[in-house]
Copies of this chain bind each other. A is one copy, B any other.
Amino acid sequence: MPRYALLIEYDGAPFLGWQRQKDGLSVQQVLEEAAAPLNGGVEPVVGAAGRTDAGVHAEGQVAQVDLAADLPVDRVREALNTRTRPHPVSVLSVARPPAEWSARFSAVHRAYRYRILNRRARPGLEMGRVWHVPQRLDAAAMHEAAQGLLGHHDFSAFRAAACQAKDALRTLDRLDVSRVGEEVVVRVEARSFLHHQVRNMVGTLAMVGRGQRPVSWPRQVLELGDRRRAGQTAPAEGLCFVSVRYDPPLDWPA
């Protein structure tokens, strides 16, 4: 059966997350139901590069699906987008990946963005897209603290209790914090992440930003390796899965 790679955008607000659940709607279910007519009426499995949590958004999620038929990629995209309505899920592009390619296991680089709305007034237009922190954050101090987490480490201190990864060794390539108007934006990149790793790092950096902990503290938390020493898990709604890279790169039609 031919394999297709899907480049996907979604608003995470109405979903229980990427992964299929018995008790409510997931992005995976919307796509699997949309793909059934392209697969002889049978719902295929759609697997993703990143199994985002409930409320987490994506502007560049990548997924894979095997379909019974050999179809033009534009037709697959159009057919899926007709049938994902009215849900806020859109297939931006469809490609034919190389043999043995896996959306999840072939990924060599993942990028996330975390948005903090840092003003007194709560979110109106951006409700559900940002974490609201009303106290003034020192973005420069957060950025400095973040640099202490870069590189190859055991990230147990920033790992969810439910994390199923075999080990907590990861290589963090980028953790930039900057102020953009009323927002503090965190940009994170690595080959792969532990469950809740980005949100736990952001929650920890926010304590530095509020002046509750020194700039040196997140690095100490990392070295202690104890989740209970870190900051809160930042809320899901501020997080967006921005992009995934493969080697060789996928050739997405424009």
Residues of B within 8 A of A240 (CB): 125
Q: Among the listed stretches A83-91, A169-177, A215-223, which one makes contact with chain B, having 4 or more residues with CB under 8 Å of it?
A: A83-91
How many of chain A's residues have a CB under 8 angstroms from any CB in B? 28
Tell me which of B11, B120, B122, B128 contacts A124 (CB under 8 A).
Answer: B11
In the complex, whether A127 has a CB less than 8 A from a CB of chain B is yes
Residues of B within 8 A of A58 (CB): 125
Residues of B within 8 A of A92 (CB): 119, 121, 124
In the complex, whether A10 has a CB less than 8 A from a CB of chain B is yes
A173 to B57, CA, bound (A): 38
B90 engages A11 (CB within 8 Å): no
CB-CB contacts of A135-170 with B at 8 A, as 1s and 0s?
A: 000000000000000000000000000000000000
In the complex, whether A102 has a CB less than 8 A from a CB of chain B is no
Chain A residues touching B, majority SS: mixed
Residues of B within 8 A of A119 (CB): 92
Measured CB to CB, the nearest residue on chain B to A93 is B121
CB-CB contacts of A39-78 with B at 8 A, as 1s and 0s?
A: 0000000000000000001110000000000000010011
A90 engages B124 (CB within 8 Å): yes
A91 engages B9 (CB within 8 Å): no
A9 engages B120 (CB within 8 Å): no
Distance between A73 CB and nearest chain B CB, rounded to angstroms? 12
Tell me which of B74, B85, B122 contacts A122 (CB under 8 A).
Answer: B85
A124 to B119, CA, bound (A): 27
In the complex, whether A8 has a CB less than 8 A from a CB of chain B is yes
B127 engages A11 (CB within 8 Å): yes
A125 engages B77 (CB within 8 Å): no
A91 to B93, CA, bound (A): 39
Interface residues of A in 223-243 (CB under 8 A from B): 240
Residues of B within 8 A of A77 (CB): 120-121
Distance between A220 CB and nearest chain B CB, rounded to angstroms? 35
In the complex, whether A19 has a CB less than 8 A from a CB of chain B is no
Residues of B within 8 A of A123 (CB): 88, 90
